[in-house]
Each structure stands twice: as structure tokens, then as C-alpha cells.
């Protein structure tokens, strides 16, 4: 069946709530309203207010409740409306959820999934549009999933719910309306495995989330104009990171570019570049290209925001100039 990203999220939660009668979903407007992006639509009517709980506007309360419930043996999906506001609950997430299993010698598990949204392009301005995934990938004990399409989102969310560790599940706002084929039957996807969305022999383009769609379109442009074949590697999970797939692809193509929406400085592209430098330097014909956002807040003015975000044409132009096609 062909469904949207939002519908895939809802389907994954529904299936897991049927499988585990103690699984609960909490967050702002996740109940009767169906979520601000309608990713929890219909769940309240099916599972009721005991399991689909609307919360006050308090990120600390949401994450704190999820952690406490998890320590008592319950699985919880907690939605934080926009990743920008996770910093309000950083102590709970970073110093408690991510560390309790380690600090208790394995006696306490924290099986929570924090769903949140990020990304520019829909006129949400500087405080609602950031891509902060690199912050959280830096934290041991916290898994970070960032899928690019409905199929991957559903399979990875189901796996995340079953994980005994805290998982941050990041959904780009521009992906909610995108569609693809998703099986009706049960399936899951392993956390920590990248996927090659397009094979090629001339360049490895490493990306994740909404930028995968941009990369695939840019690859079409380069193939048509220059017969230049791009291999698009979708990381899907950035912690744990599938280093083997990255290195194998770079050794094949001898060129590497990394694409993400977050700003260049301190962005996750730097980590990937270091891994390639450490493990595949002798295979590179060119220095590694980082295609990242500007080191500025996300603008609200439409013309400036359009300039801020990458398009397939911009990606193709940078690759053409950099690799002298």
C-alpha cells in the first residue's frame, strides 16, 4: 500500500500498541487533535485517554514522566513538539535517560522513544526550524534515528519501541506528506544500518532525513547532464553509525560528499569526514566535500529561507564545481 510518512508513523505506533497493551503515547496534542502534523491521528479514538495522553506544555514533565514510567517497566513513546524544545528537558534526557542503565550496572532499563520534528522550509522561523541531531549523537547511551521515507520510518520506529534503551526518533517536517510503498504485513528494520538508495561509481553522497530526497534528485541531474553516477548512502541512524557501509562505498567511488541541512560548524558531516579520513584516505582522489547549511539561524523571510535550504540544483552545482565536471 502507498501511504504518507505521517501515516507510517501512526501505523507503527498502532501496531506496537496492539502488540504491547502497556505501551503508552504522551505529548502535546497527540490525543484528540491527532498531533500537530497528524502523525497520531486516530490513535486516541482506538486506544482511549489512558494510553494516548495529552500533556501540559512542559517538556520536562513529558520526558520526566516517560523516564519514571520506563523505570517501572512500562514502554513509552513521548512526543516533543519540535526538537528545538528538547533543550528544555536536556537534563532528563542526557543526564538521566541516557545514563541510568550504565549507572545502575544494567539493573535499570529506560525503554522510551522520544519522537520529535526538525527542519527548515515551512516558514517556522529560527526557534522552530533547527536541525540539532549532532548534539544528541554525541551522547553515549542514546540512539538517534533519522529516517527519510515512510517505509524506513515505520520499520525503524517499531524497532525503536522494542529497544530497551532510550531512542531519539527525528522526523523532518517536510517529509510528513511524502509517500511510498509500505507493506501491510509486519516488518522491522535494524537500528544502526545504512541503506544505499542509489548505486553509482563516481561519487559517494552521504546524507540522511529530507536531504536524501534532495540527493536523489541531484543525482538525476548529474547523470543526465554529465553521465556522472552518484551513489546515495542514506545513514538512517546516526548513532549507532554504520561506518562499514560508508567506507565500502567511498573505496569504490574514490570521492566523497556529505550533505545535511544543519549548519557546517559542529555538524555531523565533520564526524563522517573524520571517519573517511581515518579509514579511506588512500582511496580518495579529491578532498571530502561538505554540503551543509549556513552558520546562521534559520531565517523567517521566505526569500531568505529559500536561500538557506538546499535544493537538488544547488547540490548538483556544488558537486559540478568542486569535482570539475
> Rounded CA gap, 172 and 5, in Å?
10
CB within 8 Å of 199: residues ≥ 6 apart:
229, 231
* Catalytic residue, candidates 128, 172, 202, 260: 128
> Rounded CA gap, 154 and 150, in Å?
6
Q: What angle do CA 87, 310, 299 make, to 5 degrees?
A: 50
Catalogue the long-range contacts made by 95-100 (C-beta closer than 8 Å, 24 or more residues apart).
96/67, 97/63, 97/66, 97/67, 97/70, 97/141, 97/142, 97/166, 98/139, 98/140, 98/141, 98/142, 98/166, 99/141, 100/67, 100/71
Rg (CA), the chain: 20
> Rounded CA gap, 32 and 53, in Å?
9
Sign of CA dihedral 213, 204, 133, 192: positive
> Rounded CA gap, 259 and 300, in Å?
22
Can 128 be counted among the known catalytic residues? yes
CB within 8 Å of 120: residues ≥ 6 apart:
129, 131, 261, 293, 298, 305, 308, 309
> Rounded CA gap, 251 and 17, in Å?
43
Indicate which residues carry an active-site annotation.
128
Amino acid at each position: 500500500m502507498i501511504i504518507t510518512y505521517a501515516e507510517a508513523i501512526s501505523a507503527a505506533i498502532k501496531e506496537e500498541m496492539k502488540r504491547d497493551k502497556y505501551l503508552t503515547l504522551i505529548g502535546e496534542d497527540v490525543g484528540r487533535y491527532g498531533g500537530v502534523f497528524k502523525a497520531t491521528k486516530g490513535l486516541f479514538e482506538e486506544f482511549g485517554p489512558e494510553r494516548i495522553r495529552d500533556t501540559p506544555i512542559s517538556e520536562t514533565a513529558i520526558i520526566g514522566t516517560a523516564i519514571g514510567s520506563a523505570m517501572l517497566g512500562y514502554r513509552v513513546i513521548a512526543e516533543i513538539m519540535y526538537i528545538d524544545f528538547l533543550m528544555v528537558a536536556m537534563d532528563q534526557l542526557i543526564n538521566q535517560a541516557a545514563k541510568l542503565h550504565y549507572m545502575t550496572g544494567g539493573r535499570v532499563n529506560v525503554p522510551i522513544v522520544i519522537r520529535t520534528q526538525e527542519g527548515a522550509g515551512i516558514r517556522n522561523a529560527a526557534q522552530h526550524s533547527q536541525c540539532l541531531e549532532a548534539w544528541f549523537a554525541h551522547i553515549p547511551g542514546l540512539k538517534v534515528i533519522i529516517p527519510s521515507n515512510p517505509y524506513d520510518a515505520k520499520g525503524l520506529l517499531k524497532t525503536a519501541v522494542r529497544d530497551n534503551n532510550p531512542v531519539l526518533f527525528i522526523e523532518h517536517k517536510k517529509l510528513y506528506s511524502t509517500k511510498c510503498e509500505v507493506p501491510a504485513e509486519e516488518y522491522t528494520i535494524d537500528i544502526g544500518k545504512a541503506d544505499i538508495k542509489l548505486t553509482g561509481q563516481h561519487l559517494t553522497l552521504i546524507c540522511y532525513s529530507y536531504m536524501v530526497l534532495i540527493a536523489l534528485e541531484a543525482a538525476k541531474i548529474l547523470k543526465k547532464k554529465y553521465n556522472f553516477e552518484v551513489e546515495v548512502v542514506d545513514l538512517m541512524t546516526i548513532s549507532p553509525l554504520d561506518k562499514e557501509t560508508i567506507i565500502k562505498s567511498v573505496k569504490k567511488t574514490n570521492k566523497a560528499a556529505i550533505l545535511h541541512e544543519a549548519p557546517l560548524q559542529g555538524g555531523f558531516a565533520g564526524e563522517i569526514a573524520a571517519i573517511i579520513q581515518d579509514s579511506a584516505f588512500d582511496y580518495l582522489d579529491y578532498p571530502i566535500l561538505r554540503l551543509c547549511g549556513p552558520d546562521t539561524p534559520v531565517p523567517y523571510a521566505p526569500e531568505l529561507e529559500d536561500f538557506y535550504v538546499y535544493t537538488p540544483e544547488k547540490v548538483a552545482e556544488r558537486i559540478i564545481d568542486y569535482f570539475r565536471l
